[in-house]
Amino acid sequence: MWRVPSPTDLVDLPFMRTAVLELGLLGVAGGLLGAWIVLRRLAFFAHAVGSATFPGLVVADAAGIRPIAAALAVALAYAAAVWRAGARAAGRSADAVTGVVLAAALAIGVVLASDVFHSSARVDNLLFGSLLAIAPADVWAAAGAALLALVATVALGPAWLASGFDRDGTRALGAPVGAADALLLAIVAATVVSSLPAVGALLTAALFIVPAATVRLLARSVRGLLLGSVALAVVEGVVGAYVALWLDAPPGPAVAVLGGVVFALVALASTAAPRAVRVAA
């Protein structure tokens, strides 16, 4: 008989403990890198790189190999293509590459899943994640992503921040702007891959873009953006896992809808507050 799950199920059920730990670690990685994604205007890239891995996930699933390995190879190749396009045309053609790959990858993945490998039953898990499909190795990958995001923020954060605000000036001072940008794309791509078992290829933005975009509406400093993004991403991940258990749904859509609702409420509140101050004055 179906029942409304208790919040204690998050720790009582073994698969939920794994899912909560996975989403918590991904919240740290997504919050830190999400802040840089939002500041550097890489939201389209961060969303597209997850979708670009879909054909690789389908092939890996059909071949019986670890999907995360195939996804990582595809994501890094895609990041390299976007970086080269941006370097050659000052970023103008990078958006075009991103858009073309986003559409082509989804189309190729659907064709492979339905007509070539006949794995349509697994498409939902590949696209939207699954609470039951998260393995201990995926948790270790998420822990590695969180550590990578933390180390990269400490070591490369100043360079990312400086080149984001004044790229030419930063390059004139001798900073390796091109290398820093390439590392940012590669780290985002690798970290997004670690989130695929939890949220799927289509909804990586739920952890890597939406929380940071929400906090940016309120943050008054980069430090505040980083800390707030991590906190919100972790909370939305854990609450999204509970909602997914409650609705018997994939975690990706649950986290994405929750993040969208929170973003809308914060956006409305932030626009209404100045208006209220003006009226009171």
Dihedral sign of CA atoms 91, 93, 96, 98 in order: negative
pLDDT of residue 273: 64
| Residues 101-155 pLDDT 10s | 777 777 887 787 776 666 554 666 777 888 777 888 889 999 999 999 999 999 9
Listed residue (256, 206, 273) closest to 34, CA to CA: 206
- The 10 Å Cβ neighbour count of residue 125 is 20
Tokens of residue 119, six digits: 């794995």
DSSP 8-state secondary structure symbol assigned to residue 113: I
Domain boundaries, the chain: 9-280
pLDDT of residue 86: 64
Query: Residue 223, class by beta-carbon neighbours within 10 Å (0-12 exposed, 13-18 middle, 19+ buried)?
Result: exposed
DSSP string, 47-85: HHHHHHTHHHHHHHHHHTS-HHHHHHHHHHHHHHHHHHH
DSSP 8-state secondary structure symbol assigned to residue 120: G
pLDDT of residue 94: 61
Contact of 10 with 129, CB cutoff 8 Å: no
The residue written with tokens 């390439």 in the block is: 182
- If DSSP codes are grouped into helix, strand and coil, which group holds residue 11? helix
CATH architecture of the domain with range 9-280: Orthogonal Bundle (1.10)
pLDDT of residue 98: 73
Residue ranges in the chain modelled with pLDDT below 70: 1-7, 9, 86-95, 97, 115-124, 166-176, 273-281
Query: Residue 38, class by beta-carbon neighbours within 10 Å (0-12 exposed, 13-18 middle, 19+ buried)?
Result: buried
